[in-house]
Every structure is written in C-alpha cells, then in structure tokens.
Amino acid sequence: NDKRGVKMEKEMINQLIDTAIYQLKYSYTPYSNFKVGAALLAKNGQVYTGCNIENAGYTATNCAERTAFFKAVYEGERNFKAIAIMGGPETVKGPDCDICAPCGICRQVMMEFCDPETFQIILAVSKDKYDVFTLRELFPLGFGPADLA
Ligand code: THU
C-alpha cells in the first residue's frame, strides 16, 4: 500500500518494473541513444508494454509510455491502474537507468484514460529502487475529458 491508500502490492510493482526493463532492448534510439521501457497495468490485470521509437523526423518520435497506451487502447483496453517507467542513456554496459519522468505529452495521454487521483506512476531506477506518484502529482491542474463534459 502506498501513502494514498491505493492498493499496489510490492510484488506487482516489482513485476511491472521487471517488464519495463525487458522492453529496453526493443527501444529504437539511433538519435538520442536514450532507452525507455514501460509496462502499463490494466485494471483487469493485463499488462501492455512499450518502448520509445525514434524517427529521422525527430518530432515523429513516440515515447515508451505512449507506445504502451496506444497498443492497449487499440486492443480495446481503457481502464488502467499503473505504469512502470524505466529509462536512461545507453552505455557500453547497456542502458544506465535513472528516474525517467514522463514527458508532458505522455502525461496528457494518461489524463485521457486514467483517473488522476488513483493512477500510479512508478518511476524506477532498479527493481527495488523506485518512486510512486499519482498522475495528479505529476500533472496538477491537467486538462482532461471531465473539462469538456
Ligand atoms: N522518452 C520516452 O520514451 N519517455 C520518457 O518518459 C521521456 C523521453 C524518449 C523519447 C526519446 O526517444 C528519448 O527518450 C529522448 O528524449
């Protein structure tokens, strides 16, 4: 349990981080060499994965988080509980991860499909070194579907 009373078992967090780490090898980053992996947990327990995919036209780059969200939504999922994110520069030893916080565009995409008060964003450095935030904490006053209702 985290401080906000949303049940998130440590075992589940570790599993999501592990899955995010595994995605780093799919990361396509010829321009930045900055590898990011994500593991998105749906409320039904299904996990959707993502990596960042860069492009010669830099703005066409897709972040790991959005890859995971778009894969999930494409497959019919719209209810999400948490996402684990892991990222850092590629070195000779492999990716050297530090906390990698989602970019503004990814936070906006999360806002579309997640309850900002309960959606958990796990920023991992390693399997047992991580921080957990709600979407609201990372995206205060975010604009979302409720604003158009
Ligand atoms: N990136 C992500 O995939 N997720 C983040 O949370 C931050 C940044 C990617 C985009 C680009 O491929 C590389 O990291 C450097 O910005």
Q: State pLDDT tens for residues 98-140.
A: 899 999 999 999 999 999 999 999 999 998 899 999 999 999 9
Q: How many other CB atoms are there within 10 angstroms of residue 13's CB atom?
A: 21
> Would you state the pLDDT for residue 128?
87
Instruction: Specify the pLDDT at position 7.
Output: 60
* Residue having the nearest C-alpha atom to atom 5 of ligand 1: 102
Annotated catalytic residue within 9, 54, 65, 112: 65
Number of alpha carbons in the 13 Å side-chain half-sphere of residue 20 = 34
CA of residue 33 to ligand 1 center, whole Å: 10
Structure tokens at 4: 């906000």
Q: How far is the CA of 149 from the centre of ligand 1 (A)?
A: 31
The CA 34 to ligand 1 mean position distance, Å, reads 7
Q: Nearest residue CA, atom 14 of ligand 1?
A: 34
Residues of the chain with pLDDT under 70: 1-7
Contacts of 111 (CB under 8 A, 6+ apart): 135, 139, 142, 143, 144, 145
- Which residues approach ligand 1 with their CB closer than 6 A? 29, 32, 34, 36, 52, 54, 61, 63-65, 85, 87, 100, 102-103, 106
Ligand 1: centre distance to CA 52 (Å): 6
Verify whether residue 65 is a known catalytic residue.
yes
Backbone angles phi, psi at 65, to 5 degrees: -60, -45
In order of 32, 71, 82, 85, the CA distances from 44 in angstroms are 35, 16, 11, 20
Q: What is the pLDDT of residue 5?
A: 45
Q: Which two tokens stand for residue 53?
A: 């995919």
Neighbours of 144 (CB within 10 A): 17
Among 52, 83, 86, 123, which is best to mutate for testing ligand 1, by the most ligand atoms less than 8 A from CB? 52
